[in-house]
Structure formats: C-alpha cells, structure tokens
Amino acid sequence: MRKKILRQLLTIYKILVYITLLSAVLSSYVSGEDGIQLEPVTVTASRIYSEESDSRVRVRSQDLVLFGEEDRLSHFSVASVLSKFSSADTRTRGPYGVQADISLRGAPFEENLVLLDGVSLNDPKSGHHNMDLPLTLYDIERIDVTYGPASSVYGSGALGGALNIVSRSPEDKLRFSVSSSAGYWDFYRGGASLNVPLGRLKNRTSVEWSRSSGFAPETEFDTLTASSYNQVTFELAKLDIFAGYLTKKFGARSFYSDLYPDEEESVNTGLLVARAEIKRDGVSITPLLRWKRLQDKFILDRNRTNFSRNDHTTNLYGGEISSQVDTPIGNMAFGAEVGNEDISSTNLGEHNRVKNSLFLEYENRISGILLNTSARLDYYSTFGFQFSPSFNVGYKILPALALRAGAARAFRVPTFTELYYSSPANKGNPDLTPEEGWTYDAGFDYSVCGIMVSGTAFLRNTENIIDWTRKGASKVWQVENIGEFDMYGLESSLRLELAELLGKQRIPFGDCGISLKYSYLEGLDKKGITSKYVLEYLKHNLSLSVECALPFGFKEKINFSFKKRIGSEKYFLLDSTIYKNVKLKNGSANFFVKFSNILDTKYTEQGDIEMPGFAVFGGMDVRF
C-alpha cells in the first residue's frame, strides 16, 4: 500500500513539474491576444435551418455542449464528454474511451445514432464500432444530442436518440496548434493541427496519438488519428470535403465474453464525406457523397492467435440530395438517399444489403407555436419497407416558459453480427426481424435571469426488440427478438449562472456556473432470461457540475455523479480539473491538471469489467 501511494505521489509530482516548467517558458511570450471564442448556436434536430429560431421554443428534448479549447485539452475522447448530458449513458470497456457504447434514454447501444454533420456513422457490423470515430478533437465544434426517435429524419437506428457531432470549419487565418499530455499507467497523448487559408480554399489538417500500458493486465492501447478538412467557398455555393483515418490496437480484457478474458482487438476506420451547398432566393440544394470503411481484427484468446480469430471488413457508402424551400406558409425540406452496406468476414461470411430512402419535413411558426412534422420511407433489400413519421409541437406560453410535446415512430435493422456471428461464447440469428416502436414525450423549458430549467417525461414502446440472452444454465449468449419492451422515464436539468443571477460584484474572481442533471428510467422486466444489454439500463443517473474562476487566473471544473444500473451496485464518482490560460505574443496557451475518480471508486459499466481507479493527468495546448 505504501509503495502504491508513493508511486501516485511521484506521478503527481512529475506532472506538476512538467506543467510548471512549460508555463514558465511560455509566459515569457505574454501578449494581449485571446484564443478563439465560439459563437452561440441553436440546436434544431432537423433538416430545416431557420435564422429566426428561438432557443426557448423547442419541439424536442435536446442537449448541447460547445467544444472549446479546454474540452479539447482535458477530454481524451468524445465518449468522455457525454457525462455532461442528462439522459446519456456511456458504457466503456476500457480507459479513455478506447471502446465505448452510447445509450440514450436507456435504449441499448445499437438503438442510437452517431452522426457527423448529420451523416450517420453507425457501423453495419456492430454498434460497438459506432464510436470508432476517424476524427480528432480539433475537428469538433460542438456535440448535439437529441433524445427520442429520429428515424423520421435519419433512418434506421434512432430509437433512443441521436448524437450529432458538428465539425469545426477551417478558419480564414493561418493557425497552428500543438498539444501534449501525460498521466497514470504510462499514458501519453500528443496532437497537432495546422489551418491554412489559400484564397477560396481553406484547409485544416490534424493528427492525434495516444497510448497507455493499461491500468490492469490486457488493458493497454495505442491509437493514431489523422484528418483533413477542405472547404471551398463561392458566391452562392460551398463545397466541404472531410477525410479521416483511425487506427488502434488494444487489449480487450473480457470485453465480449467472461469465458475468454485474454481478448485482443485492432480497428482501422477510414471516412470520406463530400458535401456541396447551393443557396439562392430562399432555396437551398445539398448533394452529398459518403464512404466509410472499417477493418476489425478480433482474437478471442491472444495466447492462441489462431483460436477463434475474426477478420471483418465493412463498407458503408452512398449518396443523398436534399433541398430546403422557405415559403410564407412555412419551411419545407425534402430529398432522397441511396446507400449500400456490405461485409467480408472470416466468421460472418460475405453479405450485402441496399437501402433507398425518401424523406420530407415541414416546419412553421404561428404566434409563439412551433409546429414540426416529418416522415421518411426506407426500403432495405433484405427487410422491405419501413415508414417513420413524427409529430412535434412547441408553444411559448410565457416569455420565459415554453412547453413541448411529440410522438414519433422509429426502427432499427439488425447488424451483421446479430444475424451471422458464431463463436463458442456467442451465437447470431439469421431469422431476426427489425425492431420498431413509438415514443411519446412532453416537457418544458424555462429560462430567466441566469436560471435555466428543463424537464421531460417519455414513454417508449418497442416491438421485436433484439438482445443477446442466456436461458437457464446456458453459458452461451444467443441473440433473438425477445418481444415487446416498454420503457418510461423522466429527465430534468437545472443550470445556474451565478454572475447573472446574483451580480458579478458578488462573485469572487469572476463567473461561476452550477449544473444539476438527473434522469430516472423504469422498464418492464423480462422474466426467465439473462439479458446482455436491454435490461441493464441506468435507472438513476445524477450529475452535479461546478465551474468557477479561481485566484490568479485559474479555473476549476468539478464533476460529481451518482449512478445506479439495473443488476449492478450503485456508485459515486468525483473528478476535478484545474485550468490556466496564458496569453502569448501571437496566440495563447492552456494548461490543465485533471484528477480522475478521486474517491478511488471500484465500479463497472459493462458486465464485470473493472474500470480504472484514482488517476492524475496533466498537459498543455499552445495555439498560434
């Protein structure tokens, strides 16, 4: 025990010395130029964009996080940011988001969409790869989360909700950023980003690398991400081309089976998205092409490399054209999408499916009432037609109070893994049918004088729900349509901006904000089966965040959370991050020290997979 404490103190000391020396060196370049400030934005959760949108009138339950310089510095993955969302559940199997599943409103990870600028990144082989994102943290401007069905807008997979990553456009100035951080378990991370404007063309090229020896045996990892974002602007049009690549290799200790703990996995993901936007006289036309390729190599027992080794390659490609027309009687968006999903696998075989889609959305504002309705028709060559309508309304009953309600249908087609996978521990089922269901919700949003309060109640009824189950004494997970499953829940959030509420003169050292979020979920239990995902939802999810300025220009963020999952013990987590911004002659520098799991809580998020204990990290980011 004494040796462990001494090692922890030595690591903390090294990090503090590292930051102190860098701060001292860079402070000699002090000047008066600030870093970039992000403009306020409004989440619309639709294909319709309106410059007259009022953030206090919404038709959906939504969350938004602006991704500033501090977030890029202290967060190690997109998954770690989701702790800020009230009804989001991030279930990780390893540290730093090396493998993470996202759940919204208690829906299993397969029932949620992950998008980049409205383009679905969900992997057709397995939802476990949905967060294998080939983009760096430099590429992110904000993250929008829409709770509830989104199939009427985006298609298959959005029963629980949709997570949309909004990319940061290249800037019109020459910029260079470099970052470095280190911490417990031989963790190192580095990154760099170069922004170059060349007339009408703007380019940002970024790279990030991270590695760790792991907090426990078989938890090591090594990742590399590179991206390039090109934007060309014309008088009435704009062309965006994004390309990204991710490669990572990691020890997968009991990730998918407790019968074989010594697992290993490597993933390579490539992404290319090209989008044009043409606007004139209240009409916009947006054609889009996309291609995503993912290679996954999985070894069930790394000590026997030829035992149950799986090599999978999936391709997801297609095109879309959409248009928006603004008229005196409302705004309308419509379009069509074609796509193909295929897989070549040593375990699952070779399969292909084609999908075609038509979609339509209408929105109108009448005397404080916001009406939004949308519909989408999807056709899959292997599953036939799926129709997804939605109806939503928002009403500003008072200047500071708005009400909202909605109903929508959503669906999800099975993944290739659910259909065809076979191993000694898991068996797929080629006879699966798509999940489908309706969700009904109602809520309110209140905002006045530094106080923001939101609340939502919802009911989701899903039929033909898909899950991996064990029956009786069986040790093998078998996937099947387990029937109907009802889930209802409550979501609430409170945000206090103390400087606006009490006056800046009463707040020492500057601004201070407090955020409290809580969600409650209740599902209809399925008797007689052991569920792998559906019945292990997060029943109680409470988070408290405090962000306050400190003396000498420091700032601290404290995050406390309480979680109780069905089938698991409750636990508490406490994290704290201290920041310091230093102004440089031609830019700025940010430094941080992060204390993670301060209470050294022993907990799991997925099965019996142990999560990391107390740790300390530190680093810096310089921007010129």
Q: How far apart are CA 423 and CA 222, in angstroms?
A: 26
Q: Pick the residue with more confidence: 491 or 471?
A: 491
Instruction: Give residue 281's pLDDT.
Output: 85
Q: How does residue 235 score in pLDDT terms, banded at 50, 70 and 90? A: confident
Give the count of beta carbons closer than 10 Å to the beta carbon of residue 3: 7
Beta bridge partners of 15: none
328 burial (CB, 10 Å; 0-12 / 13-18 / 19+) is: exposed
The CB-based long-range contact list for 302-309 (8 Å cut-off, 24+ gap) reads 302/218, 302/251, 302/262, 302/263, 302/264, 303/262, 308/260, 308/423, 308/424, 309/346
Q: Pick the residue with more confidence: 418 or 91?
A: 418
Instruction: Give residue 12's pLDDT.
Output: 36
Structure tokens, 202? 């703007």
Largest CA distance in the chain: 73
106 close to 121: Cβ distance less than 8 angstroms: no
Nearest residue to 114 via CA among 384, 401, 105, 104: 104
pLDDT digits (tens, 9 = 90+) for 165-223: 999 999 999 999 999 999 999 999 999 999 999 999 999 999 999 999 988 888 899 99
DSSP-derived letter for residue 381 is T
Average pLDDT value for residue range 337-354: 96
Q: What percentage of the chain carries pLDDT values higher than 70? A: 89
Q: How far apart are CA 598 and CA 606, in angstroms?
A: 21
**Integer angstrom CA distances of residue 480 from 462, 471, 535, 607:** 14, 12, 14, 20
Q: For the whole model, what pTM was predicted?
A: 0.88
Q: Pick the residue with more confidence: 164 or 73?
A: 164
Nearest residue to 45 via CA among 27, 31, 61: 61
Q: At residue 375, what is the residue type?
A: A
Examine the pLDDT at 264 and tell me if it is beyond 60.
yes
Q: Pick the residue with more confidence: 93 or 123?
A: 123
Q: Pick the residue with more confidence: 80 or 273?
A: 273
Average pLDDT value for residue range 467-471: 85
Give the DSSP H/E element, type plus range, for residue 530: strand 529-531
Q: How far apart are CA 353 and CA 340, in angstroms?
A: 6
- N-term to C-term CA, the chain: 45
From the centroid of its chain, how far is CA 458? Answer: 21
pLDDT digits (tens, 9 = 90+) for 353-376: 999 999 999 999 888 899 999 999
Q: How far apart are CA 86 and CA 493, in angstroms?
A: 7
Structure tokens, 216? 């426990």
Instruction: Give residue 76's pLDDT.
Output: 81
Q: How far apart are CA 428 and CA 529, in angstroms?
A: 17
Instruction: Give residue 2's pLDDT.
Output: 42
35 close to 588: Cβ distance less than 8 angstroms: yes
Average model confidence (pLDDT) across the chain: 86
Instruction: Give residue 526's pLDDT.
Output: 60
439 close to 391: Cβ distance less than 8 angstroms: no
CB-based burial, 43-78: b 16+ in 10 Å, e otherwise: bbbbbbeeeebeebbbbbbbbbbebebbbbbbbbbb
Instruction: Give residue 19's pLDDT.
Output: 33
Q: Pick the residue with more confidence: 341 or 259?
A: 341
Q: What would the DSSP string read from start to end of 103-166?
A: EETT--GGGEEEEETTEE---SS-GGGTT-----GGGEEEEEEEES--HHHH-TT-SSEEEEEE
Nearest residue to 353 via CA among 246, 430, 241, 461: 430
Helix, strand, coil content of the chain in percent (nearest 5) = 10, 60, 30
Classify 122 as helix, strand or coil. coil
pLDDT digits (tens, 9 = 90+) for 7-65: 443 443 333 333 333 333 333 333 333 333 333 344 446 888 765 555 556 778 888 77
Number of helices (H), then strands (E), belonging to the chain: the values are: 6, 31
Q: How far apart are CA 276 and CA 320, in angstroms?
A: 11
Instruction: Give residue 442's pLDDT.
Output: 96
Average pLDDT value for residue range 589-610: 91
Instruction: Give residue 366's pLDDT.
Output: 87
Beta bridge partners of 588: 583, 623
Sign (positive or negative) of CA dihedral 507, 509, 511, 516? negative
Q: How does residue 252 score in pLDDT terms, banded at 50, 70 and 90? A: confident
pLDDT digits (tens, 9 = 90+) for 535-584: 889 999 999 999 988 888 899 999 999 999 988 899 999 999 999 999 98
Q: Pick the residue with more confidence: 457 or 254?
A: 457
Adjacency order of strands within the sheet including 119-120: 61-66, 140-147, 161-167, 112-116, 119-120
Instruction: Give residue 50's pLDDT.
Output: 64
Domains detected in the chain:
2-623 (2.40.170.20)
